[in-house]
Amino acid sequence: MSPNLVDDSLSVHTQSHDYPIVITAQNATAISDMAAQITPFISARQVLIVTNDTVAPLYLARLQAQLETQFTVAVCILPDGEQYKNQSSINKIYDVLMAQHFNRDVTLIALGGGVIGDMTGFAAASFMRGVNFIQIPTTLLSQVDSSVGGKTGINHRQGKNMIGAFWQPQMVLADMNTLQTLPARELSAGLAEVIKYALIMDIEFLSWLEDNLPAMMALDLEVLAIAVKRCCQYKADIVAQDERESGIRAILNFGHTFGHVIETHEGYGKWLHGEAVAAGMVQAAQLSHRLGWISDADVARVKRVLILANLPITPPPIALETALSLMGHDKKVKQGQIRLILLKSLGKAVLTTDFDNQLLTDVLSQQH
């Protein structure tokens, strides 16, 4: 591990407050330093760790024991999976907070992937009208995307992430060593979001990924740390300009409008978020090509890099009427008009309504 990648950090600047993202990959036992890294950002004596039944056996005991030397610590362990990202799980978090008589001084700690981070953040935003929380993302997808920027929330059966709030964490701790326990499928799902940043913002990063994806998939922590920092910096720069997604931040949802259709239709959890986004990015690229903005060779390049990351490039069969209906529930719909993030070129995305609905229909009807 290169010295400059040990305990590396960057800052996120928002109207709410500024906070650091700490990226660490010291050694195989660096996980024991989690408590030391986050303690300066715990504002008072009360702590609730929210995690799931997959992550808890791996990291909870050590973190809890270390924090208990300084704080009153409670734990909420939720079932693992996107299908549990709902109001019932949020109520379980509230139940523990109420049973412990915790108050506005509590700090919630999200120990897990994007689902845990989103739910813990939403619970923090809504408990007593807002308490502090800290993100410890343990998946690649959450490290490069969902833990940064303050989007929190839960799913509704008719639409993904439809209920939530913008609520920034006090800090984010991304420990590369947690990726060593990540299943290969989850790693690939995270790579979808990494590839997304290249497609929307930086064609040179796309070339770097084409060269380095095999090393990332082989869990080269140094290469992964480079990618995580780069993606976090991209997102931090955009969030600083547009904290509440009223403008440029929407481009971070490239592939997501199509992907959310897949997730909602198939049932939350059947397709991982990153898998659905991967297929959605191909659909968005295909529409961009039909508009004459990118070439057929560009679409083929998008497919190749996703295949290199072991990601799907074809959505499941979904009836056209169903797909259009689900798209109509997307948060980017404005005044009844579907807005999409498309590619003007590889490395440059735009939020637009400037497309023929027939072309969108053609892409949604295409099953290959």
Residue-by-residue pLDDT tens, the chain, 368 positions: 444 445 689 999 999 999 999 999 765 544 558 999 999 999 899 999 999 999 999 999 999 999 999 999 999 999 999 999 999 999 999 999 999 999 999 999 999 999 999 999 999 999 999 999 999 999 999 999 999 999 999 999 888 899 999 999 999 999 999 999 999 999 999 999 999 999 999 999 999 999 999 999 999 999 999 999 999 999 999 999 999 998 999 999 999 999 999 999 999 889 999 999 999 999 999 999 999 999 999 999 999 999 999 999 999 999 999 999 999 876 666 666 889 999 999 999 999 998 999 999 999 998 54
E strand residue ranges, the chain? 8-12, 19-24, 46-52, 72-78, 107-112, 132-137, 151-156, 159-166, 172-175, 340-345, 348-352
**Domain 185-365 class, CATH top level:** mainly alpha
Residue pair 239/149 in contact by the 8 Å Cβ criterion: yes
Which tokens belong to 79? 């079932």
- Unique residue bearing structure tokens 């780069």: 230
**How many alpha carbons lie under 13 Å from residue 50 in its C-beta half-sphere?**
32
Helix (H, G, I), strand (E, B) or coil at 93: helix
| Tokens (6 digits) for 291 | 């508009």
pLDDT digits (tens, 9 = 90+) for 152-205: 999 998 888 999 999 999 999 999 999 999 999 999 999 999 999 999 999 999
CA distance 261 to 50: 28
DSSP, res 355: S
Residues catalogued as catalytic: 129, 151, 193, 235, 245, 249, 253, 256, 260, 273
Q: What is the pLDDT of residue 3?
A: 41
The answer to whether the beta carbons of residues 65 and 47 sit under 8 Å apart is: no
Chain position carrying tokens 């890099």: 305
Strands in 106-204 per DSSP E: 107-112, 132-137, 151-156, 159-166, 172-175
Overall fold of domain 3-181: Rossmann fold (3.40.50)
Asked if 13 contacts 243 with a C-beta cutoff of 8 angstroms, the reply is no
Give the C-alpha separation, 239 to 250, whole Å. 10
Mapped onto helix, strand or coil, the DSSP state of residue 313 is coil
Say whether 135 sits in a helix, a strand or coil.
Answer: strand
The 8-class DSSP code of residue 324 comes to H
Q: Cα separation of 277 and 261, whole Å?
A: 10
Contact between 262 and 271 (Cβ < 8 Å): yes
Best CA proximity match to 255, nearest among 329, 317, 330 = 330
DSSP 283-311: HHHHHHHHTTSS-HHHHHHHHHHHHHTT-
Calpha distance 171→38 (Å, rounded): 8
- Amino acid identity, position 163: I
C-alpha of 254 from chain center = 13
pLDDT (0 to 100) of residue 32: 52
Q: Give the largest Cα separation in the chain, rounded.
A: 62
Q: How far apart are CA 280 and CA 274, in angstroms?
A: 9
Beta-sheet pairing, 107-112 with 151-156: unpaired
Domain boundaries of the chain, sorted by first residue = 3-181, 185-365
By the 10 Å C-beta count (0-12 exposed, 13-18 middle, 19+ buried), 215 is classed as middle
Nearest-10 Cα torsion for 72, 84, 134, 275: 150
